[in-house]
Amino acid sequence: MAELLDLDHVRLTDRPLIVCDVDEVVLEFLTPFRNFLRASGRDLLPRSFRLHGNIVLLESGETVADDLVSALQEEFFTRQEEWQTPAALAVETLAELAEEADIVFLTAMPPRHAVVRRALLDRFSLGYPLVASKEAKGPIVKRLHAGRKLPFVFIDDISHNLHSVREHAPDCLLVNLMVNADFRRLAPDPGEGIAKADDWTDVARIVRVHISR
């Protein structure tokens, strides 16, 4: 349960807070995952906004079964250090924003992969606190901010995560960012009240306006 999640390692200062998703926001996910699949004779096709049903065998074009898709995701996360790299301008932009705000990474992945992810982020000078959980993100963001009278921001690529934070932390600025342009075009509109960014330059502009108020 999210309410049992250990957040003791997250130490915040008296500054605004930026909570940021990792996959497809800070780290590229879809492009390296596609490269990982191609290395084993498979491919990811941008036909709809999902993984299941869009992974095929390169030779035949046959769709890969759902249980194998899940197994491939598990293997990819186990080997993420071999494949994933930061999104364009993510490292530089976060370093600049860190001079004005606290940054926490909130990644929707099984906690068993957190050690590997921590090492990968550290390799790219992304040493901000990391929370790994498959639970809804809204309650976690609410706990992190803890009702402080300071601006806070949540950045994610998936609409239901943004909506979860809006439900539990309505004062939070919500920013939608997906770095893969092919799948971004297929993504559902996140809805009103959510700022949409095409890249980290957009993110920096949107966030700075909010935290400087």
Please, what are the domains in the chain?
Answer: 2-28+84-211 (3.40.50.1000), 30-83 (no CATH)
What are the tokens at 194? 């959510």
Euclidean distance between CA atoms 43 and 114, whole angstroms: 26
Chain length of the chain: 213
Read off the pTM: 0.95
Euclidean distance between CA atoms 212 and 123, whole angstroms: 30
pLDDT score, position 4:
52
pLDDT one-digit tens code per residue, 129-185: 999 999 999 999 999 999 999 999 999 999 999 999 999 999 999 999 999 999 999
Q: What percent of the chain has pLDDT over 90?
A: 93
